[in-house]
Amino acid sequence: MSAHKLDYAPYLTFSMAEWARLRADEPMTLNAEDVDHLRALNDPISLAEAEEVYLPLTRLLSFYVEAVQAVHIASTRFLGHNGAKVPFIIGVAGSVAVGKSTTARILRALLRRWPSSPKVDLVTTDGFLHPNAVLKERGLMERKGFPESYDRAAFVNFLARIKSGEPAVSAPTYSHLVYDVLPDERITVEKPDILIVEGLNILQPGDLPKTGKPIVFASDFIDFSIYIDADERVLEDWYVERFMKLRETAFRDPKSFFRRFAELTEDEAVATAKDIWRSINLLNLRENILPTRGRADLILEKGRDHAIHQVALRKV
């Protein structure tokens, strides 16, 4: 293995050639059509990148899952309990428009194709946003996506119940079309082997009580965390590109919360997208999301071409 080993740094960094070699003999189980189907809007991932980046990652994850299960079995044996498996939780974090959804979907597809055929579920934290009515009442509509806009207690409770092995745990559902939590719809997670959780703020530790009283955060339940990184200026460009594509597609739906944006001229739409990015998403990135990058187990660094150019793996 060739990696840039810095004794004082918490991460080992890999070029794409170095990282790709760590695939070893891991078989590629997706084809170009699969990858095209899985990628999110404005995230042109290729089959080659899926093979070079995500195959080595799934190989690494197989070792982590095995190790975590071994620790759990040892602990339950010590306590005299049964050694039933607990779900392995993977967190995917990063800015708006960085490509979290694509990473989460490709990981789920590859992990499901392991020889053991594990049950792999995917949940986004959008469903744990407070409903718009609550956000309006609290004056938080312009801070949607910031930590205070989420029902963090409900999210922690959801993860705790998953980790405790409950047979069925439900989570609220969010619609990007109407830009709100759907009150009558929920997604049920039934004893997955692996659960992927994707969201902006999943790695935040929160404030510690000065009394020293034990407290748990969402990040305490995550066994392996991935942060997707890109330069701020690049992220702004991606956000504007995505906004312009949505202006021609989803925003034209009469049910869309953003229907009014479909009628903007091109110049007005670009200006609107940049204003939303700079006043909300960039602020949230700088204040809340980027500070959690150093807590991730793995950092995938993207370039302007959307491709991953470097991988950083936290030393164990």
Residue 16 has pLDDT above 50, yes or no: yes
pLDDT for the residue numbered 32: 87
pLDDT tens per residue, range 180-201? 999 999 999 999 999 999 999 8
Confidence (pLDDT) at 258: 94
- Name the pLDDT band for 208 (thresholds 50, 70, 90): low
Q: Which residues pair with 186 in a beta bridge?
A: 172
Q: Is the pLDDT of residue 315 over 60?
A: yes
Instruction: Give the span between the Cα atoms of 261 and 265, in whole angstroms.
Output: 9
The answer to whether 87 and 193 are in contact (CB under 8 A) is: yes
Instruction: State how beta strands 180-189 and 194-198 pair.
Output: unpaired
Reported in sequence order, the residue ranges of the chain that DSSP labels E, i.e. its strands, are 11-15, 88-94, 120-124, 169-175, 180-189, 194-198, 224-229, 298-302, 308-314
What is the pLDDT at residue 215? 79
Domains of the chain: 11-314 (3.40.50.300)
d(CA 166, CA 177): 31
